[in-house]
C-alpha cells in the first residue's frame, strides 16, 4: 500500500522503449502487454494478493475447521458475540457463527457475484456495442436510445424494483431464481451494468469499421457476423478486458450496497461480504471486530481489482494514461 509506483516512463514512451527490444525476439502484442504489465509493480502485487484471497476463499476448508453456518455452542448455550480469540480469529457474530469462516466462505459468493456480473455484462455490452456501431442507422439509434433509457433510470431504483420481481411474479422466479438468491442478485446487478461497455465498444467500432482491414474482409466475402466477431471485437480486446476488471470491483461494491438496503443475498445460509458487513454494521460501536473483517475483505479485494485494472490499462491501452 505504501509504495504506489507507476510506470517510470509516460506510457507513450513505454511503447517505444519496448519496441526498441524488437531486435532480439519478435514480440507479439500480448508479450508486449505482459512486459508493460510486469513493470506496474502495484498491479503485480495486487494480482498476487487477489489470487491469494481467491485461493483462501475457494479452498476455505483448508483455513478454517468451521462451517460458516454452524452455530458455536458451549454446554448447549449459543456463543454469540465472542471476542476474537484462539480458534475464532474474528470472534463470533450475533448468530453465534464463526466470523472468520463466514468471511472465507462469504468471499466465494462475493467473488462469484463480481466475476459473473463482469462476464455477463461484458458479453451483453460488447454485443450491443458492436451491433449498434457496425450496422448503424435505425438499429444503432434504437439500441443507443435503449441504452440511454437504462442510464436515465437511477441505478438503485432499478435494482430495488427488479429485486422484488421474483418475490411477486412466478415467471420472474423461473428466470431469476428465488427472491434474494445469488442468481437473482447477479441478474439484478447485471441488468444495470452493461451500458458503459456498450457505449465504449460502439465508439471504437464506429472508428474501426472504416479501416482497410474491414474493407478487405468484406471484399473477401466475409459475413457481417464474421466481420463483427472475428475482426472488430478482437480489436477492442484491450478496452473489454479493462472494463471487465473494473466491473468486478463495482459489482462487489454494489452487492454490499444492495445488502445494506435489504435487497442483497439472503444472509441466513449464504454469507457474502456484503451481507456480513451490512448485518454487522449495527455493531460498529460495541463489537467493531465483526465489522472490520468483512469490511477489510471488501476494501482489500476492490483495491486489488482496481490496481489490476490500472495496470491492464497501462499495458493494453498505452495511448491512454492510467485513471
Q: Which residue from 28, 75, 168, 174 is in contact with another protein, where contact means CB under 8 A?
A: 168
Please give the residues from 237 up to 256 whose contact with another protein meets the rule CB under 8 A: 249, 253, 256
Q: Which is nearer to another protein, 164 or 226 (CB)?
A: 164
Nearest distance, CB of residue 247 and another protein, angstroms: 14
Any contact of residue 140 with another protein (CB under 8 A)?
Answer: no
**Positive/negative CA dihedral, 55, 61, 65, 68:** positive
DSSP code at position 83: P
| Residue 222 in contact with another protein, rule: CB under 8 A | no
Please answer whether residues 274 and 264 qualify as being in contact, where contact means their C-beta atoms are separated by less than 8 angstroms: yes
Between residues 22 and 261, which has the closer beta carbon with respect to another protein? 261
- Which of the stretches 17-25, 119-127, 147-155, 229-237 binds another protein when contact is defined by CB under 8 A? 147-155
The answer to whether 177 contacts another protein (rule: CB under 8 A) is no
The secondary structure element, H or E, covering residue 73 is: strand 73-74
Q: Classify residue 52 by burial, with Cβ atoms within 10 Å: 0-12, 13-18, 19+.
A: exposed
Query: Which residues inside 280-299 make contact with another protein, applying CB under 8 A?
Result: 281-287, 291, 295, 298-299
Q: Is 165 in the site for another protein (CB under 8 A)?
A: yes
Q: Concatenate the DSSP letters of all residues of 291-306 into one string.
A: HHHHHHHHHHHHHHHH
Contact present, 249 and 320 (Cβ < 8 Å): no
Write down the residue that cell numbers 471476542 correspond to. Answer: 83
Task: By CB under 8 A, tell whether 48 contacts another protein.
Answer: no
Q: Which of residues 58-77 bind another protein (CB under 8 A)?
A: 69, 71
By CB under 8 A, residue 110 contacts another protein: no
Check residue 257 for interaction with another protein (CB under 8 A).
Answer: yes
CA 38 to chain centroid? 22
Amino acid at each position: 500500500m505504501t509504495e504506489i509506483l507507476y510506470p517510470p516512463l509516460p506510457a507513450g514512451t513505454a511503447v517505444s522503449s519496448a519496441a526498441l527490444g524488437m531486435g532480439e525476439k519478435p514480440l507479439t502484442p500480448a508479450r508486449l502487454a505482459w512486459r508493460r504489465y510486469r513493470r506496474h509493480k502495484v498491479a503485480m502485487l495486487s494480482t498476487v494478493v487477489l489470487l491469494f484471497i481467491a485461493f483462501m476463499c475457494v479452498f476455505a476448508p483448508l483455513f478454517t475447521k468451521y462451517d460458516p453456518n454452524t452455530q458455536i455452542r458451549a454446554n448447549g448455550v449459543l456463543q454469540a458475540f465472542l471476542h476474537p480469540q484462539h480458534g475464532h480469529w474474528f470472534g463470533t457474530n450475533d448468530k453465534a457463527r464463526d466470523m472468520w469462516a463466514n468471511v472465507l466462505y462469504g468471499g466465494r459468493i462475493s467473488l462469484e457475484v463480481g466475476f459473473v456480473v463482469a462476464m455477463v455484462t461484458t458479453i451483453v455490452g460488447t454485443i450491443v456495442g458492436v451491433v449498434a456501431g457496425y450496422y448503424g442507422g435505425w438499429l444503432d439509434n434504437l439500441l443507443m436510445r435503449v441504452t440511454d433509457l437504462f442510464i436515465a433510470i437511477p441505478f438503485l431504483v432499478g435494482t430495488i424494483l427488479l429485486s422484488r420481481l421474483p418475490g411477486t411474479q412466478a415467471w420472474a422466479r423461473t428466470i431469476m431464481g428465488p427472491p434474494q438468491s445469488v442468481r437473482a442478485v447477479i441478474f439484478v446487478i447485471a441488468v444495470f451494468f452493461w451500458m458503459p461497455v456498450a457505449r465504449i465498444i460502439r465508439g471504437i467500432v464506429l472508428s474501426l469499421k472504416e479501416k482497410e482491414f474491414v474493407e478487405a474482409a468484406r471484399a473477401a466475402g466475409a459475413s457481417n457476423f464474421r466481420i463483427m466477431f472475428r475482426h472488430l471485437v478482437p480489436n477492442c480486446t484491450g478496452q473489454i478486458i479493462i472494463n471487465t476488471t473494473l466491473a468486478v470491483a463495482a459489482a462487489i461494491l454494489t452487492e454490499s450496497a444492495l445488502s445494506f438496503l435489504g435487497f442483497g443475498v439472503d444472509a441466513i445460509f449464504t454469507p457474502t461480504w456484503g451481507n456480513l458487513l451490512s448485518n454487522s454494521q449495527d455493531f460498529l460501536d460495541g463489537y467493531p471486530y465483526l465489522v472490520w473483517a468483512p469490511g477489510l475483505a471488501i476494501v482489500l479485494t476492490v483495491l486489488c481489482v482496481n490496481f489490476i485494472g490500472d495496470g491492464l490499462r497501462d499495458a493494453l491501452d498505452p495511448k491512454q494514461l492510467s485513471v
